[in-house]
Amino acid sequence: MNDHVHCACGSGDVEVQGDGEGRHAVGVDPAIKDGNLKRLRRIEGQVRGLQKMIEEDRYCADVLTQVSSVHEALRSVGRELMRNHMKHCAATAIRAGGDEANAMYDELVEMMYKNAR
């Protein structure tokens, strides 16, 4: 199945092709992408720090504090991605109406349930 959804993500139009995990966005706003990549690199460093803490048998409460920090950092990236998706991709699909809007409503509900866990 190949879904073609046109939406404006950031500064340019995005065409989403494919289904499931094989979908790719084309023309994503470089500033948004760079910001998310910087956050994720920072999170990657935090996770390496967690690994080191466990290797060094650090106090459990200190490790758990850092785990909470990583969770919050990932939630922050998720909020930014969700905001951008709703502002650009979802809004465009919903304005289009019909099957495209209905598919977007289903996608948004599914995303909210997955991210609420």
What count of residues does the chain have?
117
For residue 90, what are its two tokens?
A: 């979802």
Is residue 8 within 8 Å of 88, Cβ to Cβ? yes
| Per-residue pLDDT, 107 | 94
Give, in order, the Cα–Cα distances in Å from 98 to each of 10, 48, 82.
24, 46, 22
| Per-residue pLDDT, 9 | 45
Average pLDDT score over the chain: 83
| Per-residue pLDDT, 42 | 97
pLDDT at 8 over 70: no
Cα–Cα distance between 48 and 87 in angstroms, integer? 33
For tokens 């106090």, the residue is: 59
| Per-residue pLDDT, 21 | 61
Which of the two residues, 14 and 111, has the higher pLDDT score?
111
Pairing label, strands 12-16, 5-9: antiparallel
33-42, 69-78, 80-89, 95-104: the lowest-pLDDT one? 80-89
pTM above threshold 0.75: no
Q: How confident is the model at residue 25 (pLDDT cuts 50, 70, 90)?
A: low
| Per-residue pLDDT, 32 | 86
Alpha helices in the chain (DSSP H): 30-55, 60-84, 91-96, 98-115
Taken in order of first residue, the domains within the chain and their CATH numbers are 5-115 (1.20.58.1000)
- Give Cα 16 to chain centroid, integer Å: 15
| Per-residue pLDDT, 6 | 47
